[in-house]
């Protein structure tokens, strides 16, 4: 059977689905490992669209793999392999659907905080700054403009909300949740990961305005980096060309989708409308371009 052009949702017999996220389907493989499958679903304005984006799942998975390898000197991570042929037989049976878009990972006990790092002022960081002049307890200089580069990257943790938006919290609040030692460790690691990734991306023409990491404890009790990392779905990527603080920046990957949806009379509540073929195709091209620029290779 030929692999389908896009995958909207997986249903893998013989494996237990533990979570269906906006984009990723997560399965238990055995008691120590999970399979994280990136589908081709795309969300915009917090709604999952009925149209899938060809190659998107592959780009998310292969970009994460690239970064896990590149940043393995900063912190150990959960990745076992992205090669379906090297996965257990229960997974290999579904190779046609899973190839390219799946990560076999070590299951971790997840810390219930999102470790966000911001190098630029956007999104909820910009909103917090406008309201309070600070973000997660970081007092910032007055007069900063939307999308402006911060004097230095800041660690701005958030709670993991099941429904609705994550809530930004201070480091002090994070310490109450996971303890001061873990907080310091996750903060320092997150800042180092961001600094390395941001410098690399910038040299390739992409600004990583902000990004989110997750960490957990493996079966030995060691802290490891988990989830996807430094993908367009977990980060704000802006094209460096044309960057101009003082307003919102175009999204590297989703701008065509947003621009199109803004032309419609849609209230941004589910169900979301479908995308025209041209918009979906241009969006695929953007994901592939992000991969090419960041990794220097072709998918």
Ligand X SMILES: Nc1ncnc2c1ncn2[C@@H]1O[C@H](COP(=O)(O)OP(=O)(O)O)[C@@H](O)[C@H]1O
Looking at residues 219 to 248 of the shown chain, list those that interact with ligand X (rule: CB under 6 A). Answer: 226-227
Name the minimum Å distance from CB 295 to ligand X: 21
Name the minimum Å distance from CB 21 to ligand X: 2
CA gap 155, 153 in Å, rounded: 7
Q: Is 24 in the site for ligand X (CB under 6 A)?
A: yes
Q: Is 79 in the site for ligand X (CB under 6 A)?
A: no
Record the tokens describing residue 189, joined without a space. Answer: 């690691």
Name the minimum Å distance from CB 86 to ligand X: 17
Q: Is 19 in the site for ligand X (CB under 6 A)?
A: yes
Looking at residues 88 to 147 of the shown chain, list those that interact with ligand X (rule: CB under 6 A). Answer: 105-108, 110
Q: Which is nearer to ligand X, 36 or 122 (CB)?
A: 36
Q: Is residue 260 within 8 Å of residue 279, measured between CB atoms?
A: yes
Judged by CB under 6 A, the number of residues near ligand X is 18
HSE (side-chain half, CA atoms, 13 Å) at 82: 19
Name the minimum Å distance from CB 28 to ligand X: 10
Q: Is 214 in the site for ligand X (CB under 6 A)?
A: yes
CA gap 7, 239 in Å, rounded: 28
Over the Cα atoms of the chain, what is R_g?
Answer: 19
Q: Is 22 in the site for ligand X (CB under 6 A)?
A: yes
Q: Which is nearer to ligand X, 18 or 172 (CB)?
A: 18
Name the minimum Å distance from CB 199 to ligand X: 25
Contact pick of 34, 37, 87, 115 for ligand X (by CB under 6 A): 34
Burial class (CB in 10 A: 0-12, 13-18, 19+), 15: buried
Q: Which is nearer to ligand X, 22 or 258 (CB)?
A: 22
Burial class (CB in 10 A: 0-12, 13-18, 19+), 217: middle
Gap between the terminal Cα atoms of the chain: 22
Q: How many helices and strands (H and E) does the chain possess?
A: 8, 16
Residue with tokens 């690399």: 200
**What are the residues binding ligand X (CB under 6 A)?**
19, 21-24, 26, 34, 36, 78, 105-108, 110, 214, 216, 226-227
């Amino acid at each position: 059977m030929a692999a389908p052009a896009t995958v909207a949702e997986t249903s893998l017999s013989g494996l237990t689905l533990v979570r269906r996220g906006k984009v990723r389907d997560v399965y238990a493989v055995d008691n120590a490992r999970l399979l994280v499958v990136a589908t081709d679903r795309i969300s915009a304005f917090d709604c999952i669209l009925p149209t899938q984006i060809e190659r998107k799942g592959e780009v998310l998975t292969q970009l994460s793999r690239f970064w896990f390898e590149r940043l393995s000197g900063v912190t150990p991570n959960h990745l076992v392999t992205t090669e379906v042929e090297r996965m257990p037989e229960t997974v290999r049976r579904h190779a046609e659907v899973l190839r390219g878009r799946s990560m076999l990972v070590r299951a971790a006990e997840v810390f219930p905080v999102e470790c966000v790092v911001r190098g630029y002022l956007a999104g909820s960081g910009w909103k917090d700054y406008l309201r309070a002049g600070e973000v997660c307890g970081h007092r910032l200089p007055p007069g900063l403009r939307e999308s402006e580069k911060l004097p230095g990257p800041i660690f701005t943790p958030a709670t993991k909300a099941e429904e609705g938006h994550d809530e930004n919290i201070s480091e002090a609040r994070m310490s109450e949740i996971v303890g001061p030692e873990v907080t310091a460790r996750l903060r320092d690691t997150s800042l180092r990961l961001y600094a390395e990734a941001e410098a690399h991306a910038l040299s390739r023409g992409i600004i990583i305005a902000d990004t989110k990491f997750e960490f957990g404890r493996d079966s030995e009790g060691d802290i490891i980096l988990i989830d996807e990392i430094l993908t367009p779905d977990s980060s704000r990527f802006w094209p460096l060309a044309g960057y101009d603080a003082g307003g919102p920046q175009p999204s590297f990957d989703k701008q065509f989708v947003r621009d199109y949806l803004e032309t419609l009379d849609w209230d941004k509540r589910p169900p979301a409308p479908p995308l025209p073929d041209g918009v979906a195709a241009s969006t695929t091209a953007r994901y592939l371009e992000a991969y090419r620029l960041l990794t220097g290779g072709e998918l």
